[in-house]
Amino acid sequence: MEPRIWLIAGPTASGKSALALRLAEQTGGEIVNADALQLYADLRVLSARPEADELARAPHHLFGTVDAADGWSVGRWLRAATATLAEIRERGRDAIVAGGTGLYFRALTQGLSEIPAVPPEVRQQAAAEFEAMGEDGFRARLAVADPAAAARIAPGDRQRLSRAWEVYAAAGRSLTDFHASAEGALPAGSWSAVALEPPRAALYARCDSRLELMVERGALDEVRALTARNLDPALPALKAVGVREFAAHLRGETSMQAAIAAAQQETRRYAKRQITWMRGQMTDWPRLDAPDPDAQWGQFLALNPVLTA
């Protein structure tokens, strides 16, 4: 049988890692990370990276391999993941790509167009125009050049609004056009996908309990070490849930209890955003809606009877 690529997406704390590990052991496959924060070596605890005993049970790739000072883009991950998948295939083994970063999965399945670099002066001009025009005016102008982008970008998302305009201003072609011309990175028929979406109440309870477990496992020390590096706060690793909240506690600005509660709330919000993204972008992916790992595995086997043949 030809090696298979399995894609497992889901919000934080939904059970992706457990399902991926069980599938890897069942198939003799190798796991590839598709979570933007689990890339970073500095975020072992806060990103809920697999523990040492889990890493020993199956080969894992692109976990904790990037320094926090080196902010990776979607394109950079796609190049690394594509090369890793090719190596796994050459070994004749299945690959299990698991994570919660929807853009990674979209790039992997739909491709990523080569968008020209935006010159610094164009970026600076766009920033000045956003300040002068305000979000509504800036969005209205973008709607003329790239109506699809103006419609899909959420209110308050200045970064993506600016990015869409910068691409048009620099290239004379809309970001939507670039995306439409992309070719899929994975060959048709080479992959199967599922998205985990457990009941909201169970997911939120798991988010809360896992955050408390992170504190027990050293989240404060991790944040202390990361913030001591005085890195650019715009870097992806510095935006991880828990960094801002626990850094505020370490500065004496809030109690530990308040920091945990704030991080729990933000984790739930993050999970909700991930679910919303999956519902909008992964409409044709089968859903696993069971609340616990064993039941999720049963649903997965029902969708893939070849695994029990």
pLDDT value at residue 134: 95
pLDDT confidence tier of residue 110, bands split at 50, 70 and 90? confident
Q: How far apart (Å, rounded) are the C-alpha atoms in residues 291 and 285? A: 18
DSSP conformation letters of 177-236: HHHHT---SSPTTSEEEEEE---HHHHHHHHHHHHHHHHHTTHHHHHHHHHTT---TTSG
pLDDT value at residue 100: 97
Parallel, antiparallel, or unpaired for β 5-9 and 95-99?
Answer: parallel
The SS3 call for residue 33 is strand
Q: How far apart (Å, rounded) are the C-alpha atoms in residues 267 and 87? A: 34
pLDDT value at residue 213: 97
Sequence ranges of the domains in the chain? 5-112+183-308, 120-179
Lowest mean pLDDT of 45-59, 151-165, 169-183, 228-242, name the range.
Answer: 169-183
Instruction: Inform me whether the pLDDT recorded for 226 exceeds 70.
Output: yes
DSSP E strands, the chain: 5-9, 30-33, 60-61, 95-99, 191-196, 287-288
Instruction: Inform me whether the pLDDT recorded for 302 exceeds 90.
Output: yes
Q: How far apart (Å, rounded) are the C-alpha atoms in residues 152 and 91? A: 41
Give the chain's end-to-end CA distance (angstroms, integer).
13
Q: How far apart (Å, rounded) are the C-alpha atoms in residues 49 and 17? A: 9
pLDDT value at residue 201: 97
How much is the average pLDDT of 240-252?
97
Share of the chain above pLDDT 70, in %: 99
Average pLDDT, the chain: 94
Q: How far apart (Å, rounded) are the C-alpha atoms in residues 68 and 233? A: 11
Instruction: Inform me whether the pLDDT recorded for 175 exceeds 70.
Output: yes
List the structure tokens of 7.
């894609």
How is domain 120-179 classified at the architecture level of CATH? Orthogonal Bundle (1.10)
pLDDT value at residue 130: 95
181 or 80, greater pLDDT: 80
pLDDT value at residue 182: 65
User: DSSP letter at 285?
Assistant: S
pLDDT value at residue 222: 98
Sign of the Cα pseudo-torsion (183, 185, 189, 194, in order): negative
Share of the chain above pLDDT 90, in %: 85
Report pTM. 0.82
pLDDT digits (tens, 9 = 90+) for 2-29: 899 999 999 999 999 999 999 999 999 9
pLDDT confidence tier of residue 66, bands split at 50, 70 and 90? very high
Lowest mean pLDDT of 109-118, 169-178, 240-249, name the range.
Answer: 109-118
Fold classification of 5-112+183-308 (topology level): Rossmann fold (3.40.50)
